């Protein structure tokens, strides 16, 4: 009887903690989809990325702290006995900021020299999370009869945060915003 009660309490506690912690674990950045294709003599990619910030990050953004994100794109040659070889690396750089006076979100995409403003944070994040027809590699870079993969990852660049926030960004889970690598096989 005691062991059943003990098991039920442990199972109930585990269930309660799982339900309670699930929203906290869901926060962050995730690469939802990645697709690569060849057009003319270039390889292009399409990706969809979801951003979900903690209340602390949202509060900082609304108080004028600009957030810088890097989308890292790597092209890898797959190898059997050794680790994969990186044959190309590119970075898309974004800056997201809020202007309280105009109540607009500004999104700067440095690689394409674009700057857009949005009425809502959701619209700005949707725009930042949609990468379409981005040229990341020339076709001459690939050798025939080899296996390749492309992978991307999104990271908050903490070096651009104001000095008082930087130490906090290294220790607080609210500020550790990065996605896992998402990869797809590439056949030249």
Per-residue pLDDT, 144:
84
pLDDT per position as a tens digit, 114-126: 999 999 999 999 9
Residues of the chain short of pLDDT 70, as ranges, are 1-26
Q: Which domains does the chain have, with CATH numbers?
A: 28-186 (2.60.40.10)
Per-residue pLDDT, 3:
53
pLDDT per position as a tens digit, 149-182: 999 999 999 999 999 999 988 899 999 899 999 9
Per-residue pLDDT, 1:
54
Q: Which residues, in sequence order, are CB contacts of 41 under 8 Å at separation 6+?
A: 138, 139, 140
pTM across the whole model:
0.81
Q: Give the helix/strand (H/E) hosting 57.
A: helix 55-62
Under a CB-based contact definition with an 8 Å cutoff, are residues 103 and 16 in contact? no
CA distances in angstroms from 111 to 23, 97, 108, listed in the order given: 33, 17, 9
The SS3 call for residue 103 is: coil
Per-residue pLDDT, 10:
42
């Amino acid at each position: 009887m005691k062991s059943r009660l003990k098991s039920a309490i442990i199972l109930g506690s585990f269930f309660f903690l799982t339900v309670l912690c699930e929203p906290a674990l869901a926060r962050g950045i995730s690469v939802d989809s990645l697709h690569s294709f060849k057009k003319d003599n270039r390889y292009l990619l399409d990706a969809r990325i979801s951003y979900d910030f903690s209340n602390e990050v949202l509060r900082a953004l609304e108080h004028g702290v600009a957030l810088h994100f890097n989308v890292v794109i790597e092209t890898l040659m797959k190898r059997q006995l050794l680790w994969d070889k990186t044959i190309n690396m590119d970075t898309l750089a974004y800056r997201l900021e809020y202007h309280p006076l105009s109540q607009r979100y500004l999104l700067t995409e440095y690689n394409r020299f674009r700057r857009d403003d949005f009425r809502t944070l959701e619209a700005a994040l949707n725009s930042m999370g949609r990468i379409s027809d981005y040229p990341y590699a020339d076709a001459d870079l690939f050798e025939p009869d080899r296996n390749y993969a492309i992978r991307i990852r999104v990271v908050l660049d903490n070096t651009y945060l104001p000095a008082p926030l930087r130490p906090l960004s290294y220790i607080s889970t609210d500020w550790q915003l990065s996605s896992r690598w998402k990869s797809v096989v590439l056949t030249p």
